[in-house]
Amino acid sequence: MAPRSWVTSICTAIGVAVGAGAAQLGVGYGLSVVAWVPDTEDISRSVWLGSLAWVAWLSANSTIIGALCADRLAQRDPDIERPRSIELAWRGVITLAAGIGALVTVPLVAVPARVAQQANNSAPQFTAGGYAAVGVVIGLIVAFGVINVRAVAANVVATAAWLWVLAAVAVTHGLQLGTHTGTAQLATWQFSDARWLRGMVNLPGALLMLGMATLIGVAAAWRAGRQGDHRVGVAISGAVGPLLVAVAYFLAVPGIDGKNQQLSAYVTAPYAVIAGLAGSVLVSALGSKGSRERARLAKEDREAEEHAEWQRAMTAEDTPSGGTEDTAKSGSGRWSALKPRRGRAKTAKTTDPDDDDAYAPARAYGADTASTGKSGSTTSTGGSKSGRTKSTASSSPSTATPVWPEEAKPQSRRRKSAR
């Protein structure tokens, strides 16, 4: 990757993370899922904890979006194969750049949070900004896995889309009921007339969270499993999206004070991680083995064919005019990249030995000419003996092919016998 591409990818990661953080906070403030309510109101405590959970989650999500977009938009030369260590280091740089961009959420959260005065918190702006910073750190850890495993990326994106759709629907429903602030909770629905399990868990809301985690885990892992991705990455992909939600609720720990929607989501979130993991593991274990094998073989065939085309293009100048067509027709598939080499080696072994005379040294071409000149001078000075020598010399045919030094020895014996 050229230095210009490096700079472009880093700037892309920072810019996309900044835009994602600002946009998500703008939507959150507009829907009032992130609201800083003074302590004078009755709903202040629950809205405060719910807002902190949203802030931690969307800060991590902004980091992931920036790193994922920069990695997918990076310009890579397909003809250059880089070591795995260099590729991982480069993706780590992109992830760090996305984390830097996602830090924009810290001031965007801290400044409005000054009005949310709590009884046990004299500096709410530092608390809210700290939650945003912790969310960025969590996003850095998750983003590195997202850009390396396709199934994990699909799960995180699908989970984020579901959470925002659920929040929009919850706010719309709250407006119809005459309530607005704090009606959209992260990853769950606040069912008012619902059955509570042990006075802590809202049963319909918990079932909704568990069911969607399982469904998204199966759907996100299905395509990657069919395309022959690594089974370990496919198996663990279902837990990543719900894990971000669980960490957000873990940071905003609610108090145990009876039937509390925040407490219900806090208790259910870890089980949602297990449900999502179960869905992706199910796809990885029970998926069609034949389809995975066919996808893997097809992927290897495509890679081998691309490598073979690149190799033929690089060796076109050194290969004879007919050699490229012969090797191209010899076969295709995983071993086609090796066939041109075997074809050239076989041709070198079956070449006619007489063709090697073209590489004889220069002195081999002048040996016959020198001997002919000496015989000619002998005929001009002698008598009958020279005549016989002349007739013998003239009767021997003159060949245009090169003569090796060892083939000139029998001719010198015949000339001596003739003399």
Alpha helices in 227-322 (DSSP H): 231-236, 240-251, 261-286, 289-314
* Across 289-305, average pLDDT: 71
Give the pLDDT score at 192: 75
Cα dihedral 30→35→40→45 (10° resolution): 140
Q: Bigger pLDDT: 47 or 389?
A: 47
Q: Tell me the per-residue pLDDT of 213-228, one tens digit each, with 9 for 90 and over.
A: 999 999 999 988 877 7
pLDDT above 70 coverage of the chain, percent: 67
Residue 201 sits at φ, ψ, to 5 deg, of -115, 125
Burial of 39 (0-12, 13-18, 19+ CB in 10 A): middle
Pairing of strands 196-197, 201-202: antiparallel
Burial of 203 (0-12, 13-18, 19+ CB in 10 A): middle
User: What is the residue-averaged pLDDT of the chain?
Assistant: 77
Is the C-alpha dihedral spanning 131, 133, 134, 139 positive or negative?
positive
Give the pLDDT score at 418: 46
Q: Does residue 370 carry a pLDDT above 50? A: no
Cα dihedral 101→106→112→117 (10° resolution): 170
Tell me the pLDDT band of 335, cut-offs 50, 70 and 90.
Answer: very low
Out of 35-39, 178-182, 218-222, least confident range: 178-182
What pTM was estimated for this model as a whole?
0.69
CA distance 319 to 311: 11
Cα dihedral 350→351→357→361 (10° resolution): -90
Residues 6+ apart with CB under 8 A from 384: none
Residues 6+ apart with CB under 8 A from 260: 46, 200, 254
Give the pLDDT score at 160: 97
Give the pLDDT score at 246: 96
Give the pLDDT score at 250: 94
Q: Bigger pLDDT: 344 or 399?
A: 399
Tell me the pLDDT band of 43, cut-offs 50, 70 and 90.
Answer: low
Out of 25-34, 47-56, 250-259, 359-368, least confident range: 359-368
Q: Does residue 162 carry a pLDDT above 60? A: yes
CA distance 369 to 402: 11
Q: Bigger pLDDT: 54 or 229?
A: 54
CA distance 282 to 341: 44
CA distance 245 to 122: 27
Write 295-300 long-range contacts (CB < 8 A, 24+). Answer: 295/226, 295/227, 295/228, 296/228, 297/334, 298/228, 299/227, 299/228, 300/334
Residue-wise burial string across 225-260, b where 16 or more C-beta atoms lie within 10 A, e elsewhere: bbbbbebebbbbbbbbbbbbbbbbbebbebeeeeeb
Q: Judge whether 264 and 192 are in contact, CB under 8 Å.
A: no
* Across 173-192, average pLDDT: 80
Give the pLDDT score at 200: 85
Give the pLDDT score at 30: 92
Give the pLDDT score at 381: 39
Q: Does residue 406 carry a pLDDT above 70? A: no
Give the pLDDT score at 299: 74
